[in-house]
Amino acid sequence: MNAPLKLELGRRYRFSASHRLHTAHLTEEENYRVFGKCNNPYGHGHNYVVEVSVSGKVDPATGMIANLADLDAFVQHHVLEDFDHKSLNEDVPAFRDKVPTTENVCIEIFQRLKKFPLATLERVRVEETGKNSFEYAGENPEGNRP
């Protein structure tokens, strides 16, 4: 039987990176029309915030779903080391052929973090700036909670 309550642990991380929104599938003119100033050939940057939510059984001995030190180390190793102070287009192989919109950044981070072995990844929410954010919960229909 399922427990009556579901607990999730949420943690926020930060990285700063540059990107350029541009696709080889469109002409120069179309790229500029679609992506506007985000298509500037030299790129631009953001201070991103990544909010990671994991769920699992709360261990009665520790009171924890997962030890924060383990989650922090996993995110550091699998995401922040590859993304922080990098060019997403040039330095992250996933974005060689995929536009590094924050939608795609969100999905890429989710794919990397779903391998976290000590809890279940529920959702990744990425703030590109303080004014916009993006969420991805994989195929989980319950994932996009308020």
- The residues assigned a catalytic role are 38, 85, 128
Q: How far is the CB of 34 from another protein (least distance, A)?
A: 29
Closest to another protein by CB, 99 vs 119, is: 119
What does the binding site for another protein look like in residue numbers (CB under 8 A)? 2-13, 53, 58, 60-65, 67-69, 141-146
Q: Which is nearer to another protein, 64 or 105 (CB)?
A: 64
- Are the beta carbons of 87 and 43 closer than 8 angstroms? yes
Amino acid at site 65: I
- Closest CB 74 distance from another protein, rounded Å: 15
- Closest approach of Cβ 142 to another protein, in Å? 6
Q: Which residue has the tokens 């080889």?
A: 24
Q: Do 101 and 21 contact (CB within 8 A), yes or no?
A: yes
Residue whose pair of structure tokens reads 């072995």 in the numeric block: 117
Closest to 12 measured CA to CA, from 120, 86, 85, 109: 109
Which tokens belong to 40? 């500037």
Q: Which is nearer to another protein, 6 or 77 (CB)?
A: 6
- Which amino acid does the sequence have at 52? V
Which residue reads 């303080």 in tokens?
A: 130
- Report d(CA 53, CA 88) in Å as an integer: 23
Least Å distance, CB 71 to another protein, is 10
